[in-house]
Amino acid sequence: MRGSVLSNNQQWWDERARLHGADLVYDVSAFLAGRSTLYELDHAVTGSVTGQDVIHLQCHTGMDTLSWLRAGARRVAGVDFSPVAIDKATALAQSAGLADHAQFYVADILDLPVHLRAAFDVCYASRGVLCWIDDLDEWMRQARAVLKPSGRLVLIDMHPLFLMADSVDPLVLDFPYAADGPQRFENQAGSYAAPEAATEHNSTTEYAHSLAEIVTAAIESDLTIDHLGEHLAVETDGPRGLATREDDGLMRWRHTGQPLPIMFSLRALPS
């Protein structure tokens, strides 16, 4: 069962990876001109990476991964299950002149290559990560395994409450808050970065994880949490199109005027 779901999701991501590169989200020209795709929240939670080795789980086409090199990392690695995404990440590293300090791997995130174990100061994953993971405990164990004893896991992702919403006005919830088995979505045409694109593979299977389940999985994977944040005002909502950019330049997701959490951030250290 897991193999067929993984294969179907991979095909969906392979097709989206082919689309990404000339859009506003994945603007290769801007990246090559020096643009970083990291946000203030990424830097605030991660801290300095100067001289450190960073691995990026579910790295897609590698822009965030390579942005950590520009932030001072000594070496970066990116892992993704999509060979199309990894090919594009590898080519981007070459085009940006960063290939000497970056490596990209095609792998199941729940079965990482053995040579990556205990090799990194930072294990980073962000925005649209855990909803694709059926076994949260194993994801945390794999993240823990790649860290040096002094390393840290940095996870920045959509808040489980935010993932529940399909629309704001009216408020429609179409996704569970907590684990409730695989959730099948049909007719997922286009891409969040290229919504009008014609696509062939349009079904996905995703998974809900509550904040408590995420925290517990980290603790049970021999990680000590030293930061947990819930963010009501963010620089980007994914993009999901549910939040509104307000006068201070930040995005908020409001219901009856009250801001609700859009993202959470977690930093954890090997116990």
**DSSP for 208-254, written as a single string:** ---HHHHHHHHHHTTEEEEEEEEESSBS---S-S-SEE-TTS-EEEE
Cis peptide before 176 (omega within 30 of 0): no
The b/e string for 52-66 (b: 16+ C-beta within 10 A; e otherwise) is bbbbbbbbbbbbbbb
Distance CA 236, CA 262 (A): 9
The residue to which tokens 């792998």 are assigned? 107
Under a CB-based contact definition with an 8 Å cutoff, are residues 217 and 207 in contact? no
- Would you tell me how many other CB atoms lie within 10 Å of the CB of residue 105? 18
Q: pLDDT of 31-76, one tens digit each? A: 999 999 999 999 999 999 999 999 999 999 999 999 999 999 999 9
Q: What pLDDT was estimated at residue 187? A: 80
For the chain, where are the E strands, in sequence order?
A: 53-57, 75-80, 102-106, 120-126, 147-158, 165-167, 172-173, 183-185, 204-206, 223-231, 244-245, 251-255, 258-260, 263-270
pLDDT per residue of the chain (271 residues) written in tens, 0 to 9: 688 999 999 999 999 999 897 777 889 999 999 999 999 999 999 999 999 999 999 999 999 999 999 999 999 999 999 999 999 999 999 999 999 999 999 999 999 999 999 999 999 999 999 999 999 999 999 999 999 999 999 999 999 999 999 998 899 999 999 999 999 999 888 888 777 788 888 899 999 999 999 999 999 999 999 999 999 999 999 878 899 999 999 999 999 999 999 999 999 999 9
C-alpha to C-alpha distance for 36 and 38, rounded to whole angstroms: 6
Please choose, from the candidates 45, 65, 14, 39, the residue with its C-alpha nearest in 3D space to the C-alpha of residue 237: 39
Range of the domain at 190: 2-270
State the total domains in the chain: 1
Closest listed residue to residue 10, CA positions, set 132, 187, 134, 155: 132
Q: Are 129 and 157 in contact (CB under 8 A)?
A: yes
DSSP 48-68: --TT-EEEEES-TTSHHHHHH
Please state whether beta strands 102-106 and 75-80 pair in parallel, antiparallel, or not at all (unpaired).
parallel
pLDDT at 44: 98
Task: Provide the whole-model pTM.
Answer: 0.96
> What pLDDT does 240 receive?
82
Place of tokens 């095909």: 11
Rg (CA), the chain: 18
Residue 156 belongs to domain with CATH number: 3.40.50.150
